Every structure is written in C-alpha cells, then in structure tokens.
Amino acid sequence: MLRCGAFQLPLTRPLVMGIVNLTPDSFSGDGLASNTREAVARARQQIDAGADLLDIGAESSRPGAAPTSEEEELRRLLPVLEALGDCTLPISVDTYKPAVMRVALANGASMINDIFALRMPGAMAAVADSDCAVCLMHMQGAPLTMQEQPAYADVVATVQAFLRARVSAALAAGISRDRLLLDPGFGFGKTLQHNLDLLYHFDELSIDKLPLLAGISRKSMLGTITGRPVAQRLAGSLAAALLATQRGASILRVHDVSETRDALAVWQAVNTTEVA
C-alpha cells in the first residue's frame, strides 16, 4: 500500500500514472486560459482512459530544457489544480521546488514527483510536513546538460547507492516508508546502454522492497532503438512498460493510458491464470 495523502493506493496490480504536461509546447492555444482548458481536458481524458493517478508537470525536464521560474511554474499549475478540485484520483505534481511543493500540496496534490529526489534545500521539509507520497528519482546532473556526457563506472550500482542514500535521508527527515516510491530515472543523464542496463536489472533497484516507478513512455531511448519519431513510439512504449512490469514496476508513468491498460490486462491475465 502506498500512502498518498488521503488516498491509500493498493499495489497489488501495476498502476498507471497518466502524464499531463503544462509546458507551453504541449498546447495549441494562445494564453493561460486556453492552456488551462486544454490541460484540464487532457487530465479528464487520462482519467476516462483508466488512469489510477495523474502526474502534472509545469516545467520541462527534457534534455536541454532550461529551468522555469517558481512564479511561472505556479502560474501554469495553480489554475489546473483548482479546476481539478473535484478529481477523485490522486494528483501527483512533478516539481523539485520546495515552494511549488508546498503550494501544490495545499491545493489538492497528494504526491510529489521529484526528479531531484528532494535534494533542493527545503524540499525534504516541504514534503515531511505533509502526508503526501513522494517519488525519489535518480538523475545525473540537471536537465540542461545531463545528456552531454553521461558516465558511470557501474550504472546499476550507482543508482542503487543513490536511491539507498535518498531513502535514508527521507526516513531521517520523518517521511515514513509507506510514502516512498523509487525511480531510476530513465533518460536522465543516461546513454542508451545505461537505460538498457537499468531496465534489464530493474528488479534489483528496489531498496528495502519499496515500490518502483518506471517512466519510459515515448522516451528517446525508444526512438534510438526503433528509429521512430516521438509520435510513433506507442509500440515501443508498451513493450518497455511490460518489461518494467515483468521486473517489478508498481507504477508506470505513461502518455497512452488506455493502451497501457490493455497491455497490462493481457500481462495480468497470463500472470494470474491457473496453469493446467
């Protein structure tokens, strides 16, 4: 069970986290009001498609992306959180800024998805002061430069050691283990080979049996493998989602919710069948 604010998420089957991006390149509109309307419509589509929870992000974390100011992040985020006030699913907010965390948690978020794993000054306290869930993700460097020259002596051991240290820090700050989720951060300061090593060894990345989140949907590693542009990576995303599930992922962070649910339904039917 993952404690997630007022929610208790059962982890007896893999859960689907639907991505809702609030970055300007995700919209066709021309201003905050139309962007908010489109984002809320996308969130409701993800819910109708069968998402178990949503992940809302207002700052791009793509390779090469420059940071967004706190004010701009909140300007994008707050109207969407307000409009989703009636949402019956847990809402995760993808942010590493302590001030944004506090505002998001006060406005309906019940999970913080932090690509910096609560390393920003004040982030640990912002989360510890609530009962939200938190996803601690590994990243080498920061989005602006992380893909320039990723290097590890042993990527699996490095990610394990990092996650172990962040779990210890979170527990020491008073965040209970039933609120923690771990993530190796596919594509965050990693070459294709690093990502493949992490996916192959995914089941070895859980520290103290804490649940794992996998975010591989539409990522460039799939483009490199298949030669497909981002709009044509559904099949690759589903294959990667199932491989992560097979290796113990509890939550899949995806763009294509209904397709992922179908793939998981097939996986689950095989996994729970009574073999003659």
* Catalytic residue annotation: 219, 253
Instruction: Give the total residue count for the chain.
Output: 276
Nearer to ligand 9MG by Cβ, of 74 and 135: the residue is 135
Straight-line distance from the first to the last Cα atom of the chain, in angstroms, rounded to the nearest whole number? 31
Helices of type H across the chain = 32-48, 70-83, 98-106, 123-128, 155-172, 192-200, 220-226, 234-246, 257-272
Binding to ligand 9MG (CB under 6 A) within 127-146 occurs at 135, 137
Q: Which two tokens stand for residue 96?
A: 């590493």
Q: Which listed range, 24-32, 82-90, 182-190, 194-202, lies at the site for ligand 9MG (CB under 6 A)?
A: 182-190
Residue 273 DSSP one-character state: S
Nearer to ligand 9MG by Cβ, of 126 and 244: the residue is 244
Q: How far is CA 266 from the centre of its chain?
A: 23
Assess contact for 254 and 19: CB atoms under 8 A.
yes
Which residue among 2, 4, 20, 94 contacts ligand 9MG (CB under 6 A)? 94
**Does the footprint of ligand 9MG cover residue 52 (CB under 6 A)?**
no
Nearer to ligand 9MG by Cβ, of 7 and 186: the residue is 186
CB of 186 to ligand 9MG, least distance (A): 5
- Give the residue from 208, 219, 211, 229 showing the smallest Cα distance to 255: 219
Site string for ligand 9MG, 5-44 (x = CB under 6 A): ----------------------------------------
CB of 137 to ligand 9MG, least distance (A): 4
**Does the footprint of ligand 9MG cover residue 213 (CB under 6 A)?**
yes
Q: Is 77 exposed, middle or buried, given 0-12, 13-18 or 19+ CB atoms closer than 10 A?
A: buried
Binding site for ligand 9MG (CB under 6 A): 57, 61, 94, 113, 115, 135, 137, 183, 185-186, 213, 215, 253
